[in-house]
Amino acid sequence: MFGVRYRYLVILLLAVYSYLNILFTVGQRLFDFEVSKTELFFALLGVVYIVWELNRLIENYLPEIRNLFKNKVHPLILLFVASLINVVIAGVIVLALLYLTVGMSFPLQRDHITLLLAFGFRVNLFLNCINAIVFYMNRTKKAQLEAEQFKKVSAEAQFEALRNQINPHFLFNSFNVLSSLVYKDPDTSAKFVGQLSHVYRYLLYSQEKKVVLLNEEMEFIRAYLFLLEIRFGDNLRINIEKFDDQDLYVAPATLQMLIENAIKHNIVSRKMPLTISIWKESDMLVISNNLQPKEIKEPSTRVGLQNIVSRYLFLSNRNVLVREENNHFVVRIPLLSLEEK
């Protein structure tokens, strides 16, 4: 506090307040000898100034002083104890100058120094109280800032963990498909491997990104759908609206995970084809599939939908909306603008 930028103005205002307070309470005769109002004011100003500046000097060297006590003594206690000595120094200097000004002889009289020290100790106590308040306010502000930084780092770490779930999840499902094809249809398997490498290249490209352009995600999905067509043929029907938006973003692999979930939890057959539709609705991307749950549910890794919901909590103040509407499972994903990402 003592190093505050406008300290000289504060010192002046405190001296003026003290001067007016003394004039109001005891009048001009603070001492038992004649002093003018100007001399009295400058005497008070001198005490405040010297105490403040000596405290500022001590404050600058507090780290070194604390080291002498092995950092076991609170800095405010050290500063306060040192400031008491500063008051004595200030009182002696100012009273000696006042004696010289009014033409009095030395040594300094005990009653005079006692009066000036009493004033100095009161001012010093006030300054140390304000300094303690500032000290703890700064410490609280620092603690809050560190807490916010920790939350940010923690959130980034959680987001990274969520993002890193995508590739293993995708590989697990893709290799399952490939293993079912490799012996049945080698040619189709070869095509599948080619498209798989193309798709996985996109995942590697987007791995370090929090968001990707909607158009990029849609190009990836069209390549990914080729893999699904090999597996399901006409049993899986996907309708995709054409998108021309160049400045909208989504979390990478969002659509792929939603399509995987739809296939995983619903019947996909010739008699009961699964239809998945994707379209834009205002500032949301809508993914819908007809509900035809499997009688025997597959074990869930709890990665897909929850991963998407959790990732969007970090990316936007708008939530992913999940509902059942007219026997359809509908997920609405916020389309992110440049400001949000």
- What does 100-154 look like in DSSP terms, one character per residue? HHHTPPSSPPHHHHHHHHHHHHHHHHHHHHHHHHHHHHHHHHHHHHHHHHHHHHH
292: CB partners within 8 A, 6+ apart: 266, 267, 272, 274
Closest listed residue to residue 253, CA positions, set 313, 146, 163: 163
pLDDT digits 0-9 by tens, 164-188: 555 565 567 677 777 777 777 777 7
pTM of this structure: 0.51
Query: How far apart are the C-alpha atoms of 196 and 182, rounded to whole Å?
Result: 14
Cβ neighbours for 254, distance < 8 A, ≥ 6 positions apart? 217, 308, 311, 333
Which residue in 282, 277, 283 sits closest to 325, CA to CA? 277
Q: What is the pLDDT of residues 48-90, one digit of tens each?
A: 888 888 888 888 888 888 888 778 888 888 888 888 888 899 8
What the block records as the tokens of 55 is: 């405290």
pLDDT tens per residue across all 341 residues of the chain: 676 778 878 888 888 888 888 777 766 566 777 777 888 888 888 888 888 888 888 888 888 888 887 788 888 888 888 888 888 998 888 888 888 888 888 788 888 888 888 888 888 888 888 878 888 888 888 888 877 765 664 555 455 544 555 556 556 767 777 777 777 777 777 877 887 887 778 777 776 778 888 888 888 888 888 878 877 888 999 898 887 767 889 988 888 888 888 888 899 998 999 999 999 988 899 999 999 988 876 655 555 677 788 878 878 888 899 999 989 999 999 999 876 65
- Give Cβ neighbours of residue 284 (< 8 Å, ≥ 6 apart): 321, 332, 333, 334, 335
Return the pLDDT at 170. 58
Instruction: Give 17-28 pLDDT, tens digit per residue.
Output: 888 887 777 665
> How far is CA 122 from its chain centroid?
42
Q: Which domains does the chain have, with CATH numbers?
A: 7-149 (no CATH), 165-334 (3.30.565.10)
What gap in Å lies between CA 266 and CA 294, rounded to an integer? 5
CB neighbourhood size of 234 (10 A) = 8
Paired tokens of 52: 């403040």
Helix, strand, or coil (residue 275)? strand
- For residue 334, give the nearest of 270, 266, 284, 274 by alpha carbon: 284
Please choose, from the candidates 45, 252, 51, the residue with its C-alpha nearest in 3D space to the C-alpha of residue 165.
252
The token pair that represents 18 in the structure block: 């003290």
Q: What is the pLDDT of residue 39?
A: 83
Q: Name the E strands within the chain.
A: 212-213, 236-240, 249-250, 274-281, 284-290, 321-325, 328-334
Bridging pattern class, strands 249-250 and 236-240: unpaired
What is the distance between the alpha carbons of residues 270 and 236, in angstroms, rounded to a whole number?
9
